[in-house]
A and B are shown apart, each in its own frame.
Chain A
Amino acid sequence: MFRNVLPGIENVDWYGILSLLIFFTFFTFMSIYVWRMKRADIQVLENLPLEEENQLNNTKNENIGK
């Protein structure tokens, strides 16, 4: 079936390479991004659901990303 169908698609030889590239690039960048996130930032982010709902609580977020 591979032999019958795939040659029917124009430039099909690029499909496999392209998928691999997309995967590789995407997950590499994501892993690097995740790995390099600062511990302090992570702490703020993971605590977002735990903040008391009706308190003034944005103040400690001010420094993220700087």
Chain B
Amino acid sequence: MTTQLNSDNMNVERFQYDNKIVKYFMIASVVFGVVGMMVGLIVATQLFIPEFNPLGQYTGYGRIRPLHTNAIIFAFVGNAIFCGIYYSLQRLLKARMFSDVLSWIHFWGWQLIIVLAAVTLPMGYTTSKEYAELEWPIDILITLVWVVFGINMIGTMIKRRERHLYVAVWFYIATWVTVAVLHIFNSFELPISILKSYSVYAGVQDALVQWWYGHNAVAFFLTTPYLGLMYYFLPKAANRPVYSYRLSIVHFWALIFIYIWAGPHHLLYSALPDWAQALGVVFSVMLIAPSWGGMVNGLLTLRGSWDQVRENPVLKFMVVALTCYGMATFEGPMLSLKNVNAIAHFTDWIVGHVHIGGLGWNGFMTFGILYWLVPRMWKTELYSVRLANIHFWLGTLGIIFYALPLYFSGFAQGLMWKEFTEDGFLRYPNFLETVTSIIPMYITRAFGGLLYLTGTLVMIYNLVKTAQKGSFVANEEAEAVSMTPMGHGDNFWHRALERKPILLTTLSLVVILIGGAIEIIPTLLVKSNIPTIATVKPYTPLELHGRDLYIREGCVGCHSQLVRPFRHETERYGEYSKAGEYVYDHPFLWGSKRTGPDLHRLGGKYPDSWHYQHMLEPTLISPGSIMPAYGWLFDQNVDTKDLKAKIAAMRTLGVPYAEGYEEIAEQDFWAQADKIVANLKKDGIEANKEQEIVALIAYMQRLGTDIKLKEQTAVVQ
């Protein structure tokens, strides 16, 4: 594919850029983007019309909310990242991708992962860890495909014809290294069966590792690759270099250095050790500097040529994207301050915040890049600038209609939870009251989502029309001077630069590992981080099964299991949560959003019959509730074939089940189920011990009762 021309001293090589792979990633991004947004619209609608559940359990809110987040993050944004990287990397390095075979393995492997996610998540196969819900075989596949991408990218850097690695390439390298480390460490899980596993970490440790991952998934999947793309495509679109290249270097190192430490701000006021929470807050506040450095660098690139922004839809999208990036990265540190977090955490404010990032930063930057790329790759002009402008306004209004209501509802609900009467009672003791008051906001938010999706469909029409009038060049001809042989006396520099991609990769790795190591290793190693509580015992086999059903249904998407040490929370829910209560929780189920109330002290609060009726028809027990009905838990029977494996796996992970207990676990399982059935019968309910609901009731009645046991013992003494 490469031919050489010798002219004078220069070794000119002819080669071709691979545009076909770029086109495929682009199509995948757009198609899955529409799917992900539609699923988002469905879950948004379910919040005010809970009966809107076309395929029963397979479209239940708890199951498809992770489908929405995964589709948007890994399918829409993921494919857009690869599309942008495969286009810009080849041109910045003046080389075709290292291997076409690897490019296509990467492409089809990634799409396979997405399809597997789209099948397994609605079926209820989930680890329940946010943005890492996929089960272990898919985790392994992700690792393999990510390695293929890495080899292909670094291979291209090694065979490049441009001696210098532009700053965008640094961002790509940091993305690859960090996502690899995060994915591997957060995915340590012990398989029980082909699609079920338990996290090797428990409770507080699991929470810390998960949010170290979760936060950095935002940092290194939604931010650093997009900053790389911004540093390439914004100068291209504006036809002028970036405002300050010096600033971009500082931006890069400061960002990757600081970002990795900020994860614990997701766990403020939780049972996580205070020193880890404090570290998370300090580094989150420091993050403003590099984040705004990047935003300012992008916006100032357009200094003196804002007239272009008025004319050029590509720049319009990019300017709004950068503004949203600035807003989200200012808001993030503010939300991590403990006094703000005390109001905002568990509310819709956080959902609004992430959507400023998702819809504004990732979405609009992607649209800007696509409007720039398609005319170039199809060698033509954009079909309609007018339609692109319509898309711009639909999208911008969509973001406003989406985010503003959620800010309002988050703030309002957070304050309602906290409000006391003059006599010292909760003003809104019924959680449901705080939910029904924000339903109009949910309706407006869904309308915002609809506007945004409509804009995206307008873009697809415009881009398809553009492609139709042009002609696609799959392999674009190019030529560049080979890097070797170099002039005399520069061997040292040459060698040093040759090694640069590897050096940069290693340096990035070291930089991100420092933060991770200082935060996580002490929490994992020091026993005193988790004071043990003598009354905390492992789950019974039936409770364990019930817990797995709780995980399968995605209950964690709406219910936290973490009572924070605030008076209004202990008043509403009971004793605040202690680290020692979670020591047998593989995985942890603290949750990050309270669409419904916290459940950590649910055990023993209501009779079994209450739970039975409530799960069957929530609105009968709580009129106006937006919780969906879980009819299938009454039709489906429990399956105990994995019970032995589950008990054995838990023991391997350190849960103190007696040796050989798995052999008799099933007797205990049915004995406890019989008791619940008998309890239900007393209240006039004829249940069958094999119904899944029985196991779920067992788990819910257990929640948080270990501490209550301690209190009872203390009173007796």
Residues of A within 8 A of B (CB): 1-2, 4-6, 8-9, 15, 19, 22-23, 26-27, 30-31, 33-35, 37, 42-50, 53-59, 61-62, 64-66
Contact = CB atoms under 8 A, between A and B. Distances in A.
B249 A48 contact: no
Nearest to B261: A19
A66 B241 contact: no
A22 B513 CA distance: 13
Contact of B164 (A30, A35, A48): A48
Given A26-B257, A58-B94, A65 B518 contact: no
Contact of A48 (B166, B246, B525): B166
Given A5-B529, A58-B480, 5 more contacts: A9-B525, A27-B254, A30-B250, A49-B241, A58-B481
Nearest to B511: A26
Contacts of B659: none
A43 B242 CA distance: 10
A61 B274 contact: no
Nearest to B250: A34
B480 A56 contact: yes
A66 B497 CA distance: 13
Contacts of A42: 245-246
Contacts of B250: 30-31, 34
B522 A48 contact: no
Interface string B475-487: 0111111010001
A22 B258 CA distance: 12
B662 interface: no
B246 A5 contact: no
A14 to B, nearest CB: 11
Contact of A45 (B17, B166, B254): B166
Given A42-B246, A58-B94, A8 B526 contact: yes
A15 B518 contact: yes
A4 B91 contact: no
* Residue among A26, A42, A43, A45 with max Cβ neighbours from chain B (10 Å): A45
B253 interface: yes
B275 interface: yes
Nearest to A57: B480
B241 A54 contact: no
B493 A48 contact: no
B168 interface: yes
A5 B481 contact: no
B478 A53 contact: yes
Nearest to A48: B166
B493 A37 contact: no
Contacts of A31: 250
B335 to A, nearest CB: 22
Contacts of B479: 54-56
5 contacts: A8-B527, A45-B245, A53-B476, A56-B12, A59-B10
B235 interface: yes
A12 B529 CA distance: 15
A44 B165 CA distance: 11
Nearest to B166: A48
Contacts of B240: 50
Given A5-B275, A5-B522, A26-B257, A61 B162 contact: yes
A58 B236 CA distance: 19
A2 B274 contact: yes
Nearest to A22: B514
A49 B17 contact: no
Ranked nearest first, the 7 interchain pairs of A and B with the lowest CB-CB distance are A1-B274, A58-B481, A46-B241, A46-B245, A54-B478, A48-B166, A65-B493
Contacts, number: 108
Contact of A8 (B478, B489, B528): B528
A61 B164 contact: yes
Contact of B275 (A2, A43, A59, A61): A2
Given A9-B526, A42-B246, A49 B235 contact: yes
A48 B92 contact: yes
Nearest to B93: A48
Contact of A66 (B235, B253, B274, B493): B493
B113 to A, nearest CB: 30
Contacts of A5: 273, 275, 522, 526, 528-529
Interface string B240-281: 111001100110011001000000000000000111000000
Nearest to B161: A58
Contacts of B274: 1-2
B481 A56 contact: yes
Given A30-B253, A45-B166, A50 B518 contact: no
Nearest to A31: B250
B235 A50 contact: yes
Interface in B464-481: 476-481
A21 to B, nearest CB: 12
Contacts of B167: 45
B88 interface: yes
Max chain B CB contacts within 10 Å: which of A26, A42, A53, A65?
A53
B239 interface: yes
Contacts of A49: 88, 91-92, 166, 168, 231-232, 235-236, 241
Contacts of A6: 275
B635 interface: no
A56 to B, nearest CB: 6
B236 A50 contact: yes
Interface string B273-302: 111000000000000000000000000000
Contacts of A8: 526-528
